[in-house]
Structure 1
Amino acid sequence: MSIAEDQVPGVEPATAESQGFVFNHTMLRAKDPKVSLAFYTRVFGMRLLRKLDFPEMQFTLYFLGHAEAGEVPEDDAERTAYTFSQKGVLELTHNWGSENDPELSYHDGNAEPQGFGHICFAVPDLAAAERWFDANDVEFKKRANEGKMPNVVFVKDPDGYWIEVVQPALSAGLGD
């Protein structure tokens, strides 16, 4: 069944003024950047596109994406412009010293009060991804064969944020 956008309440046509707008990134806080960077670069194959330090405010931003090898410019200004021109970027924000606070944990958005829910990665082979996550001791919230939504996996990142993992071809039958 195709979606007739004009039949879905609240959907309005894009305006000429919004042409060229592109969703660039989502920000998650990272308690320990070494742990989070290792997780997203090793487990999910992302690359560090840009690192921006803000000493006066004591935080660092790490921008991660799936750039091809050699694609990211070396020059800082060009690299920054490149980073903000990409689609599907993950920004990890590290507030300096948070890694030393044993009491600190971030709200994942799924506990009460609910808000933010998850980010999502598409993978070419969901079963292989599950085996990869197991081999890397990734915490599962839901495996592909569990729950009411088959072929959808949820794992957690080092800060407890949920990550949905799907194989696009297996998602064809979801919903109405």
Structure 2
Amino acid sequence: MSFQGEQYPGVQSPTAESDGFRLNHTMLRVKDPERALAFYTRVFGMRVLCRLDFEEMQFSLYFLARPEAGESVPEATGERTVWTFGQRGVLELTHNWGTEEQADFAYHDGNAEPQGFGHICFSVPDLEAAEAWFDANDVEFVKRSDQGKMKNVVFVKDRDGYWIEVVQAERLAALGD
């Protein structure tokens, strides 16, 4: 029998109407797209899949992901946009035009009071190598892997202050026992 998901109060069986649904992307608002794009492309190796501008509403959307080696990404803009919205694990960075020019402007990171949104998470092949890479790129740490009660979990901040959890999957097996 295939895995049907862990069961808790409130969990209901999926219906046929939700067949084919998948989580596509998470959106973060960014003050300065140049700084945000430099961070996610340099530090986390993501690629911009497509940019959509909404001139009337004065905002732009940047969709980033880390396609697998050998994965074929369409070159034609329309085809690539459709392909992007069919993927998993996409990060949408939303830039409201003009925020980059406001010195005191900042978005709520969700971790300050009142708490709300928490973080996004990246899985890496080698946690120590990732920590060294973050140090080499002046990434701000919230928590290193040897700190706090949760060992083997790193938290860093992006350029807008959003928290990013970083894990090495093999190190988390004991959490499920």
TM-score range, shorter chain: over 0.9
Q: Deviations over 1:74-126 (max 9, x none)?
A: 21110110100000000000011110101111101011111100000000000
Query: Equivalents in 1 of 2:23, 2:4: separation in Å?
Result: 21
Q: Structure 2 unaligned runs (5+)?
A: none
**Identical pairs, percent:** 69
* Other-structure match for 2:101: 100
Query: Equivalents in 2 of 1:25, 1:42: separation in Å?
Result: 20
Amino acid at match of 2:95: H
Query: Equivalents in 1 of 2:132, 2:88: separation in Å?
Result: 28
Q: Which runs of 4+ in 1 moved over 3 A?
A: none
Query: Equivalents in 2 of 1:166, 1:28: separation in Å?
Result: 20
Query: Equivalents in 2 of 1:9, 1:41: separation in Å?
Result: 40
Distance change in 2, residues 1:156/1:17 (3 Å) = same
- 2:97 paired with 1:113: no
Amino acid at match of 1:157: D
- 2:41 paired with 1:41: yes
Aligned-pair distance for 1:174?
2.2
* Other-structure match for 1:28: 28
Distance change in 2, residues 1:89/1:14 (3 Å) = same
- 2:78 paired with 1:77: yes
Aligned-pair distance for 1:70?
6.8
Aligned-pair distance for 1:173?
1.6
Relative to the length of structure 1, the TM-score reads: 0.94
- 2:59 paired with 1:59: yes
Distance change in 2, residues 1:4/1:26 (3 Å) = closer
User: The residue matched to 1:87 in structure 2 has which SS?
Assistant: coil
Q: Structure 1 unaligned runs (5+)?
A: none
Distance change in 2, residues 1:159/1:151 (3 Å) = same
Query: Equivalents in 2 of 1:20, 1:125: separation in Å?
Result: 33
Amino acid at match of 1:30: V
Query: Equivalents in 2 of 1:108, 1:10: separation in Å?
Result: 29
Query: Equivalents in 2 of 1:141, 1:117: separation in Å?
Result: 13
User: The residue matched to 2:154 in structure 1 has which SS?
Assistant: strand
RMSD after superposition = 1.6
User: The residue matched to 1:78 in structure 2 has which SS?
Assistant: helix
